[in-house]
A and B are shown apart, each in its own frame.
Chain A
Amino acid sequence: MKFFIALLVMGILTQNFVLAKFLGICPFLGVSKKLNTAVGMSAAVIFVMLLATAATYPLNMLLEKYGLGYLQTIVFILVIAALVQMVEIVLKKYVKSLYQALGIYLPLITTNCAVLGVVILNIDNIGIYSAQGFGFWHAMVNSFAAGAGFMLAMVLFAGVRSRLESADVPKALEGLPITLVSASIVSMSFLGFSGLVEGLHLLG
């Protein structure tokens, strides 16, 4: 149980996917202008991350069994792409309301490095997870934490940006530069969480 909580704290706060690991920067900068799109996009990312982990984790065992571990990257990206397409079709046909909420974001997610990143990181961590007993569920919790961390960063940053729009910015920094500098400050504030996992004695 402790390990699950540690995974959640790490994914959301200390090892935040966007602000500490630099995964998913494109949507972080591109889709964070408005709060509702930021929330929609990150909800879709959490959804796809969980599905992708559920699909690739067992698949990796199969690859390892036949000594095809080196095909990991190519298999995973194809699985994610196919999965996203399938989810889009299924949602469109059967779950209209969810499709209206998440549908437009789905095509953007295929080549989102956060999704492929979490899948690969989970496979890299298999040793750590299996030492704790559960493997698969740890991977799922880790994916959820990564997605939730992405959402937190997006929502926080959407707030910062809305304030930024009315701010009087030095001319040279207008536009993207000031956005990056404010991202830097948000990221710096997350440094305050470092040591939280160790301090709470959640590991070990």
Chain B
Amino acid sequence: MAQEKKSLGQELTKGFLKENPVLRLVLGTCPTLATSTSVVNGVGMGIAATIVLICSNVAISALRKVIPAKARIPAYIVIIASFVTMVQLLVKAFVPALDKSLGVFLPLIVVNCIILGRAEAFAGKNPVLASAADGLGMGIGFTAALFCMGTVREILGAGTFLSGIDSMIGGSFTGFDFTEGLAKVGLAPMTLFILPAGGFFVFGMLMAAANRLAERKGKEKATLSCAGCPHAATCADLNKNCEPAEKEAQAK
């Protein structure tokens, strides 16, 4: 991946936009869609995943010369799963409201492709500091994408912004509520946007916007190329395998 040496700052900032894990690399789609029903939810997920990502990147990078190449994926999974368990316990203890709203997606950080993908594509080949910067940058990029999705979906779908923030960080600020103002002019929030269908739709539109931006800078569109996915080889095989089969079918 990294042919030319990049500075630490570049490793950090590339995850924000240029290689944004969600919008450019198309990784971690499941948690992006599922937890972006509100801003607080999405950002909570983003922060939890970022912590796991930094820790696992550092640990994997520190152990990269010890882990045998053939057994690397199981080794990575064990390391990631340990950090996820730690984060899970911490969230349960200190932010129980977040634990409740993320539900099954908190333990599912284990199989979040961003984390395993970065381990495989970056941390397994680069020194500790660079890996930590990469993890932080990718985590911020992931959180930012979740923030965008959450903002659109919450405002359109529920008519609120930052609702539930008091249960996450304490304090008396309970977020903005536009529903009353909307009701005065005879409008109601479009619930569809917080339903799954709205998630797919907003994600699609956001992806289109990101593609447009990338195109303007002369870059390629985002595709589900499994860029950082550890199973990219299998996927490629799969797509190769199905073509001859189809040709045979056509010949018949």
Which A residues form the contact surface with B (CB < 8 A)? 19-26, 29-31, 33-34, 36-37, 70-74, 77-78, 81, 104-105, 107-108, 110-113, 116-117, 120-121, 124, 172-181, 183-185, 187-188, 191
Cross-chain contact A73 with B110 (CB below 8 angstroms): yes
Q: Least Cβ distance of A202 to chain B in Å?
A: 22
The docked-state distance in angstroms from the alpha carbon of A178 to that of B197 is: 13
Q: Give A104 to B78 CA distance when docked, in angstroms.
A: 24
B163 within 8 A of A: no
Q: Tell me whether A113 and B238 are in contact (CB under 8 A).
A: no
Question: Which 8 pairs from chain A and chain B are nearest by CB?
Answer: A180-B204, A184-B200, A22-B34, A177-B208, A188-B197, A74-B81, A184-B201, A187-B197
User: A34, B246: Cβ atoms under 8 Å?
Assistant: yes
Assess A78 versus B78: contact at CB under 8 Å? Given A72-B107, A116-B108, A172-B211.
yes
Closest CB in chain A relative to B133 CB, distance in Å? 25
- Report the bound CA distance from A125 to B67 in whole Å: 37
- The secondary structure that dominates the B interface is helix
Q: What residues of chain B have their CB less than 8 Å away from a CB belonging to chain A? A: 26, 29-31, 33-34, 73-74, 77-78, 81-82, 84-85, 88-89, 104, 107-108, 110-113, 116, 192, 195-201, 203-205, 207-208, 211-212, 221-224, 226, 229-231, 234-235, 237-239, 241-242, 245-246
Residues in B whose Cβ lies below 8 Å from that of A188:
192, 197
Quick one: which of A20, A22, A110, A172 contacts B208, CB cutoff 8 A?
A172
The 8 Å CB contact of A108, one of B73, B77, B78, B235, is B235
Contacts of A172 in B (CB 8 A): 208, 211-212
Q: Is A178 within 8 A of B85, CB to CB?
A: no
**In chain B, what residue has the closest Cβ to A22?**
B34
**Which chain B residues border A29 with CB–CB below 8 Å?**
29, 224
Known: A26-B30, A111-B111, A177-B207. A36 touches B81 (CB 8 A): no
A33 contacts across to B, CB distance below 8 A: 239
Whether B30 lies near A25 (C-beta < 8 A) is: yes
Residue of A nearest to B89 (CB): A70
